[in-house]
Amino acid sequence: MTKVTDLKTNNIHQIRLCFYNGKVITKNELAKQTKLSLAATTNILKYLLERQEIYLAGEAKSTGGRKSKQYVLNKDYYHLLRIILKKEALGCCFMVNIVDLLGNVKLEKKIIKKKEIVNDILEIITSFLRKDNKIEVLALSIPGVCQDGKIDICDFDELVNIDLFALINERFDLEVIIENDVNIASIGFADHYPKIENIVLMYQPKIKYIGCGILIDRHLCKGATNFAGELSYLPFISHYQQDRMLESDPHGLLLKQLATICCVINPEIVGICSDVFEIFDSSELIKYVPRKHCPKIINIDNLDELIFAGLYHLAIEVLKNKIRGEG
């Protein structure tokens, strides 16, 4: 087998990443794309084939000369475990799925639990790892703030002050991501608008306070203590007043907090997902913000879909960094 020491790790990783869009590619195309020599590209392809990270996908159409071999990613070389944790009327809801390297779902399940939430999380991870030994990364979405692995503000009181990252990391040999649900959804939302630099996603649940995920220059803005986006703590409206407005005037509540976001962030696009009403009418925003500074409003009806997309985005980036050291 080709020795890793014979090849430059960075060059290997450079070639490897070219496959992560799922498209077939030839040796000449790889060499051109990476600016590596054909000899180096040939050796790296041999190495990746031996590891079964990529497969031979056939031959390209002839343009008059010898047909070029085509290669493609082995999308099942690693798998990713994605979990959405959220509160529902029946208890704690876990939306769980396993995906391949291209985000295709291999297994999915919705689980409702009413017992100890920390043990439930660990049991669910254990159960899915038994089903699939290719899982390398766990990406977990929570309805709360996680700082340095420890849960701070959260819809589940049982999780507050729990170092969930440490508990998972000690028990499982996985790369672990724990992130706020709306932050993750904002990443999934931004993937739909690759040319937009400043994007905000706002989420209005039925029973809790409005939160938002903020991307500035396409970077997630979490602040010094991951508190950015916790709109319910703005001093203009108390929690008691927000509870009242959520019942009597949810549109007005969201409108005022949207106006605050516009003044502070000045986003180009704001995605709005509300569990209280279907369509948010932004026409009254000009009462608070000059028209030329009003963002484009996108109504969103499926937050879970965006969270899963954001979890995939984060997990695949963590995986790429992990395997860089493998050669």
pLDDT at 245: 87
Question: For 77-98, what is the mean pLDDT?
Answer: 92
Residue 225: alpha-carbon gap to chain centroid: 20
- Which one is the CATH code of 79-184+305-324: 3.40.50.10260, 1.10.287.810, 3.30.420.40, 3.40.50.1470? 3.30.420.40
Question: For 224-240, what is the mean pLDDT?
Answer: 87
- The answer to whether 92 and 111 are in contact (CB under 8 A) is no
Contacts of 198 (CB under 8 A, 6+ apart): 215, 216, 217, 265, 266, 267, 268, 269
Among 138-142, 156-160, 234-238, which range has the highest average pLDDT? Answer: 138-142
Judged against a pLDDT cut of 80, whether residue 96 lies above it is answered with yes
Q: Are domains 79-184+305-324 and 192-301 of this chain identical in fold? A: yes
The DSSP H or E segment spanning 179 is strand 175-180
Is domain 4-73 given the CATH code 1.20.1540.10 in the classification?
no
Higher-scoring residue by pLDDT: 42, 237: 42
Contacts of 114 (CB under 8 A, 6+ apart): 90, 91, 92
Question: For 101-107, what is the mean pLDDT?
Answer: 97
Judged against a pLDDT cut of 90, whether residue 113 lies above it is answered with no
Backbone φ and ψ of 176, nearest 5°: -120, 135
Give per-residue pLDDT as tens, 262-311.
999 999 999 999 988 888 889 999 999 999 999 999 999 999 999 999 99
Contacts of 147 (CB under 8 A, 6+ apart): 225, 226
Count of helix runs (H) and strand runs (E) in the chain: 9, 15
Higher-scoring residue by pLDDT: 117, 89: 117
pLDDT at 324: 83
Alpha helix (H) ranges present in the chain? 9-17, 27-34, 38-50, 117-131, 164-171, 181-190, 239-248, 250-264, 303-324
Residues shown for the chain = 327
Is domain 192-301 given the CATH code 3.30.420.40 in the classification?
yes
Summary mean pLDDT of the chain: 92
At residue 23, what is the residue type? Answer: K
DSSP 60: P
Judged against a pLDDT cut of 80, whether residue 325 lies above it is answered with no
At residue 154, what is the residue type? Answer: C
Question: For 310-325, what is the mean pLDDT?
Answer: 93
Judged against a pLDDT cut of 80, whether residue 4 lies above it is answered with no
Report domain extents, the chain: 4-73, 79-184+305-324, 192-301
pLDDT at 266: 96
Contacts of 138 (CB under 8 A, 6+ apart): 80, 81, 83, 125, 168, 172, 174, 175, 176, 177, 315
Question: For 174-180, what is the mean pLDDT?
Answer: 96
Residue 47: alpha-carbon gap to chain centroid: 30
Judged against a pLDDT cut of 60, whether residue 3 lies above it is answered with no
Question: For 102-126, what is the mean pLDDT?
Answer: 93
pLDDT at 103: 97
- The answer to whether 226 and 148 are in contact (CB under 8 A) is no
Instruction: For tokens 């703005």, name the residue.
Output: 234
pLDDT at 242: 86
